[in-house]
Chain A
Amino acid sequence: MTTNNSMVRVENLVKHFPISQGVIFQRQVGAVKAVDNISFDIKEGETLGLVGESGCGKSTTGRTILQLHEPTDGKVYFENKDLTTMGESNLRKLRRDMQIIFQDPYASLNPRMTIGDIIREPLDIHKIGTSKERLERVQELLNLVRLNPFFIKRYPHEFSGGQRQRIGVARALALNPRFIVCDEPISALDVSVQAQVVNLLEELQEKFELTYLFIAHDLSMVRHISNRIAVMYLGKLVELADKEELFYNKMHPYSIALLSAVPIPDPIKERQRKRIILEGDVPSPANPPSGCHFHTRCPIAKERCKIEDPPFEEKEPGHWVACHFSKTAQEQMI
């Protein structure tokens, strides 16, 4: 049910975390450039998958969009309202429409609160309904995520990982949001339980016409759930395209290597595949390489890549890439 209206628009978003030195007289000696000037939009009703390796800034992006981190620079628009300049009280009202599901279901639920209280808390904060209505809503939400409302007085430790993640989903849904940031919601779960949670998220999306930003490092799952996929490397977006376009017509050397590294549960295909093994590790975001951030590991890097940062351009309709030599990449790496 994707329309062309963008719900969230991110323009030149920057988030740097300062590195300070000294105990009493702290001074800033550098910055971790977690998110370094990225722009994209999320359309109403779609799921935008955001993938990348650990430390590439994908979670920071999600949190900065929701203003859980204050952006260093750039704009975030939610339905054409600028969140970055909005006052605290207006922002709080808008938060009803924007929620988040966290990665670790063991750390994101307060162990001293019953799950009923956890799910009711957003309703309390936004003063919605009477206490009886709130209770009914909590029961409704528990049913929605297929947990027995009978468990309302239990504590998080009495539930398994998958069940806890569903409690997190119920809490995110409590205020009838329209946009949810799913920050690696399944990476802490077992394989057989991951599918349960993903199916639930898809079902809820259809039912309530939700828009998702789905952050993950598991590309197979992202391919399954997303409409469009954005690939991030060291604080920058390197490629953004429709899902199938990205899989069949990938242009950025990093996306090509990343996709080739994902194992396929099929031994015959695994043996026949051409795998591109990237050398070395991801550089530190406190001291990213000059020019294109990927040039230190890129198999087709040239002199120009060390000096000139490639712009994030729309090379084909709806297909954005940041690479000087995307044609060469396609010819030599696939």
Chain B
Amino acid sequence: MDNREVILDIQDLHARFHTHDGTVHAVNGITYQVHAGETLGIVGESGCGKSVSMLSVMDLLTKPPAEVQAEALLFKGRDLQKFSKSEMRKIRGSNMTMIFQDPMTSLNPVLTVGFQIKEPLKLHLGMSDQEATKRAAELLALVNIPEAESRLSDYPHQFSGGMRQRAMVAIALACNPTLLIADEPTTALDVTIQAQLVELVKEIQAKLGMALIWITHDLGVVAGIAERVIVMYAGYVVEDSKVDELYANPLHPYTMALLKSLPRIDQQADEGLSTIEGLPPSLLDCPQCCPFEPRCEYAKPKCKEMNPLLEEVGPGHKIACWVDIKTGELR
């Protein structure tokens, strides 16, 4: 059990998109909590709903076509669903901030980097331009950009990919957030630059103590940064566990197969990689069976009939699966 204060409490969150081809069920009832100062990793393949769930929480989806439903979306005990647009705007970018995947497109190309860092400072903290400029330079220095003061007047295209992403981190940190959501921040970066950014965010988190949600498809990055990991598949949370436990003792067949299919830089390759046959299901039809059933090597008839719910099977270790993979029998 985690005794820290619950910062974000998501209860039964659904997100759908109404399109010409039908309704896309992107997120299908997920529930989890994030505690103060915790680092939560969310892992999954493209289209598993990891980004959409966060965008729903931040209220950043265009509705329609999107539709978001939840039993509760509590941020520090207050239900975000009951917030008005202006209230939402107040906490978004100040208490709860987000870094996006693509640093090339998430910064405005016609505004200077300095302007974009100063914007939340002036808007949320009511700083004067002078104060904001001073603080912005400090923030850029905090994210290890050399000659921070003079770089404030640069435009995003004058920054390299890694620097742009660091500028994004500076914007996200401007108002000392309680929760920072990083949506695949290193996917577009090279490994040496990725290592720089991961190290930087870890350092800053240790200094400022905010909670961090790190979304990625890279199980390696998560192993290095997260305390707890959530694995998503086809819009469901399939496993939720402490990081050491998850890697040492994965209990959901999908997590296990995913870990086995990864080549590892620290191991000699002797035989072929194990694969997960088939493809993730289309999110257009939302079947009642377990979404992983068609690709699962442990599948039982029951898996076709009912979708398993996320249940605690060990201390702090939850999975959504009917089967005990150790025995291969139903639990």
Q: In the complex, which residue of chain A has the Cβ closest to the Cβ of B277?
A: A196
CA distance A198 to B199 in the complex (A): 31
Q: In the complex, which residue of chain B has the Cβ closest to the Cβ of A278?
A: B192
Across the interface, do A277 and B223 meet the contact criterion of CB distance under 8 Å?
no
Q: Which residues of A contact B190 (CB under 8 A)?
A: 53-54, 217, 282
CA distance A281 to B196 in the complex (A): 10
Across the interface, do A267 and B279 meet the contact criterion of CB distance under 8 Å?
no
A268 is an interface residue with CB less than 8 A from chain B: yes
Q: In the complex, which residue of chain B has the Cβ closest to the Cβ of A297?
A: B192
For chain B, residues 170 to 227, give those with C-beta under 8 angstroms from any C-beta of chain A.
190-196, 198-199, 217-224, 226
B12 is an interface residue with CB less than 8 A from chain A: no
- Knowing A191-B261, A277-B199, say if A262 contacts B191 (CB, 8 Å): yes
Residue total for B at the interface (Cβ-Cβ under 8 A): 47
Q: Which residues of B contact A54 (CB under 8 A)?
A: 190
For chain B, residues 269 to 293, give those with C-beta under 8 angstroms from any C-beta of chain A.
269, 272-277, 279-280
Q: How far is the CB of A117 from chain B (nearest CB, A)?
A: 24
State the main secondary structure of chain A at its contact with B.
helix
A258 is an interface residue with CB less than 8 A from chain B: yes
Which segment, of A30-38, A86-94, A219-227, faces chain B?
A219-227
Across the interface, do B223 and A275 meet the contact criterion of CB distance under 8 Å?
no
Across the interface, do A258 and B192 meet the contact criterion of CB distance under 8 Å?
yes
A300 is an interface residue with CB less than 8 A from chain B: no
Across the interface, do A265 and B259 meet the contact criterion of CB distance under 8 Å?
yes
Q: How far is the CB of A222 from chain B (nearest CB, A)?
A: 9
Q: Which residues of B contact A261 (CB under 8 A)?
A: 191-192, 194-195
CA distance A282 to B219 in the complex (A): 26
Q: Which residues of B contact A190 (CB under 8 A)?
A: 45-46, 217, 280
Across the interface, do B247 and A265 meet the contact criterion of CB distance under 8 Å?
yes
Across the interface, do B191 and A266 meet the contact criterion of CB distance under 8 Å?
no
Q: How far is the CB of A168 from chain B (nearest CB, A)?
A: 17
Across the interface, do B223 and A270 meet the contact criterion of CB distance under 8 Å?
yes
Q: Which residues of B contact A259 (CB under 8 A)?
A: 265
CA distance A282 to B190 in the complex (A): 10
Contact with A along B292-329 (1 / 0, CB 8 A): 00000000000000000000000000000000000000
CA distance A217 to B218 in the complex (A): 14
B residues neighboring A (CB under 8 Å): 45-46, 160-163, 190-196, 198-199, 217-224, 226, 243-244, 247-248, 257-259, 261-266, 268-269, 272-277, 279-280
16 cross-chain CB contacts under 8 A: A160-B279, A192-B276, A195-B262, A203-B272, A223-B263, A223-B265, A224-B263, A247-B265, A262-B191, A264-B264, A265-B219, A265-B223, A265-B259, A269-B223, A278-B196, A281-B161
A residues neighboring B (CB under 8 Å): 53-54, 160, 162, 190-196, 198-199, 202-203, 217, 219-221, 223-225, 244, 247, 257-271, 275, 277-278, 281-282
Assuming A195-B261, A265-B223, A267-B247, what are 4 further A-B pairs, CB within 8 angstroms?
Answer: A196-B275, A217-B190, A262-B220, A263-B198
